[in-house]
Structure 1
Amino acid sequence: MLAPGIVHSSFGVQGDARHSLPAWQERMSTVYDVQPVPALEDGAVFDASFARYTVDDLTFFDMRTGPNVAVRSLGRVSTESVRDISFNLFVEGIPAEFRGHRMRADEHRAPRVPSILALDMDQPCTIRSHEGRMLMFFVPRAVVEKAFPDAASLHGRRVEANTPLTRMLVSHLLALSRQIVGLARDDAGDSFRTTVQLLVAAFSREAGLSGDARAAVRAAVYGQVCRHVEAHLHDPGLSPESVLQSLQLSRASVYRLFLHHGGLAAYIRARRLRTAADELVRFPNLAVQDIAAGLGFNNASSFTRAFRRTYDIAPQELHAYAPLLRREPAWQQRHAGWPAQAFPLAFR
């Protein structure tokens, strides 16, 4: 028996993939579009299950899954309000492969178990999962950003349990999965919050934004630059030079901070493209070239090339789909009678 105040649900499928996979697809449709993989052909077995626990605004999943591909498309993230950051700890089997809209260095080598993959639910991605077990933590964006200023840059980052901090984190999560049934509600809440602190600390250290006074300064500067960029995305004069001049910062120090993005210019372009995707869906009556120009893209053809290169779809196509994407998704109609606690609060 769980203590009062800990919201719980569970679900599982087992058996012939022709029957079990569609049931899993239906259940997961509030978060991901789950697709089959060749390994599930010819009547293969597909087993998957989860147990979900929620305390306040933090949600923890203990999940086992069979092979599949889970997709959050650009159109989906541009119409949903889900902005949580998920942290996925792979404890058994082969860790899932992150196939976002931009390749990352860690995709060229096989990550080890245990390892933790961070995902920004406000960005499109494709996740190729194998048979195994993972522990998933969904954390509100505002909570993460108190310690990690640019939560979007966590998308696709991965850390392995090869430091004292990450090994402590893995031990804590495994203990939580074993003991949560016996915890009081307040104790569970404390354990959830400790998990968040450890997760953010591990990824901050991996990004070089924690550990000493210099790291604290880097984190503060990083947050300052990100806020300035967000506030001036529609300013045609926004550029690395304008940021450096406005904030009185050196080019070399800022470039090192944004090396993960390919430099500050690449970061600005990525944020403008992501904002353009949202506006293409939100404003179907505006011309594509007007949206592009409003975000500093004065050349329509270069904007189209950059957008397609980033998201594998032309902005004109996304814009044309906007009326359909803005309609109430079919899964909301199908599950209108579900209990509100069926999934994390952000996924109702």
Structure 2
Amino acid sequence: MQDDDDTAARAAKPPEHVPLPREPRDIRDISASPPRLFSTRPYQAREQFEIWKTRMASLLEVAPPPGHDSTQGFQVEYLTCNMANVVFTSGRFAAQTFARAPKPSQRPRVDFWWLFRVRSGEAWFETGERRLHARPGAMFLISLDDDFQGRITDYDGLVLGLPRGAFAAAAGQLDSVCNLILSGNLIELLIDYLDRLEMRLSVMSPDELRQAGRATANMIAACVQLSAEAQAQGAMESLLFERARHYIEAHLGDYALTPDRVAQQLRISRSNLYRAFENVGGVAGYILRKRLRAAHDELVGGTDRQVQEIAYRHGFKLASDFARAFRREFGISPREARAGRRRGSVGS
């Protein structure tokens, strides 16, 4: 398969080289077009940043990074291809800061997302309460209709324009993961797909580009949608774990404290409860370890209560069951744990 990609790349017609246009970008123009290579290189160094600033003026307020003299040059070079349902962009962008500030009376709605895939460099975005720091390998999504600000170092990677009309069925999920690092096996699959797609853009006919645009939009929607659902599920399980943990710790001495009792009291299904505790060895195991730890702390903490009484106080009906479980957990008996505390007190 890799040989096929190499062959296709060698046979590809080089994209048209175009000086970066001097007029602001019209992001709503998504009519299919072959790949073009835009660059600030044809311009004199002192002009390059101002041309880039004008090009982005309809979308962002851009500025050079602090301490950078933009008259010394500002290198931007990227391949772009309108695939009707997706605008595919890949290239290198000089370090810069940017902002999309609120201008409610002046700014029309921009029904687009940008999907980033970082190959080198770093990016920082801030919007609302979310702050993102993306390093090489990261993929993330931002909405151009949100107010945001940020910066990039010298950046190399992909930036895909996603018109909302092509993602209507998944719009809610895409909005929910804006300004978050996307992760999971499906996101890794999407990254692999986009890297391979980039190699073939130059050999595709206009019809193939349109078909590939539809297929790419469907794949992005599916991968991001499922990733959003997985992240939401993970957040729900974390919240459920915390609720259950607080209940368990408040009722450790209750003999009736069982996984079924926890599920009933929290009004959740046993399966959801078990999933929330899967990474800590299950609900029953968690309850047992918490009871043993609490009993251990009381044994070595200076109390004069009998071992049997301590066992009862922490939810064990039989002292013998407590002693066996204690030895399995700590490698010594409850009396040995207490004796060790006393010896330490004498020697101190």
Read off the aligned partner of 2:197 and give its amino acid letter. L
C-alpha separation between the residues in 2 aligned to 1:139 and 1:42?
Answer: 30
Deviations 1:298-341 (A, max 9, x none): xxxxxxxxxxxxxxxxxxxxxxxxxxxxxxxxxxxxxxxxxxxx
Partner of 2:226: 205
Shift of 1:89: 1.2
Shift of 1:145: 3.2
Read off the aligned partner of 1:68 and give its amino acid letter. Q
Tell me if structure 2 keeps the 8 A contact 1:169–1:195.
no
Q: Which consecutive unaligned segments of at least 5 residues does structure 1 have? A: 216-249, 254-348
Partner of 2:199: 178
Partner of 2:102: 74
Aligned counterparts, 1:68-107, within 5 A: 68-75=96-103, 79-91=107-119, 93-104=120-131, 107=132
TM-score (norm: length of structure 2): 0.52
Cα 1:202–1:5 shift into 2, 3 Å: closer
SS at match of 1:60: strand
Partner of 1:124: 147
Tell me if structure 1 keeps the 8 A contact 2:176–2:228.
no
Read off the aligned partner of 1:113 and give its amino acid letter. P
Q: Which moved more, 1:45-54 or 1:14-23?
A: 14-23
SS at match of 2:172: coil
Q: Which moved more, 1:144-153 or 1:49-58?
A: 144-153
Tell me if structure 1 keeps the 8 A contact 2:112–2:143.
yes
Tell me if structure 2 keeps the 8 A contact 1:77–1:121.
no
Partner of 1:266: none
Partner of 2:163: 140
Q: Which consecutive unaligned segments of at least 5 residues does structure 2 have? A: 1-12, 17-30, 235-265, 270-348
Deviations 1:211-263 (A, max 9, x none): 9xx99xxxxxxxxxxxxxxxxxxxxxxxxxxxxxxxxxx9999xxxxxxxxxx
SS at match of 2:160: strand
The alignment-based identity, stated in percent, is: 17
TM-score (norm: length of structure 1): 0.52
Partner of 1:307: none
C-alpha separation between the residues in 1 aligned to 2:267 and 2:141?
Answer: 29
Tell me if structure 2 keeps the 8 A contact 1:99–1:128.
no
Root-mean-square deviation over aligned CA pairs: 3.6
Read off the aligned partner of 2:167 and give its amino acid letter. V
Cα 1:98–1:204 shift into 2, 3 Å: same
Read off the aligned partner of 1:172 and give its amino acid letter. Y
C-alpha separation between the residues in 2 aligned to 1:182 and 1:251?
Answer: 58
C-alpha separation between the residues in 2 aligned to 1:56 and 1:64?
Answer: 23
Cα 1:40–1:17 shift into 2, 3 Å: farther
Read off the aligned partner of 1:120 and give its amino acid letter. S
Partner of 2:289: none
Shift of 1:25: 0.8
State how many pairs are aligned. Answer: 211
Cα 1:55–1:206 shift into 2, 3 Å: closer
The question of 1:164 aligning with 2:185 is answered yes
Tell me if structure 1 keeps the 8 A contact 2:98–2:149.
yes
Read off the aligned partner of 1:134 and give its amino acid letter. G
Task: Give the number of the structure with larger relative contact order, counting CA–CA contacts within 8 Å between residues 6 or more apart.
Answer: 1
C-alpha separation between the residues in 1 aligned to 2:165 and 2:61?
Answer: 26
Tell me if structure 1 keeps the 8 A contact 2:130–2:179.
no
C-alpha separation between the residues in 2 aligned to 1:46 and 1:5?
Answer: 29
Counterpart among 135, 138, 154 of residue 115 in structure 1: 138
Tell me if structure 2 keeps the 8 A contact 1:85–1:138.
yes
Counterpart among 28, 38, 62 of residue 11 in structure 1: 38
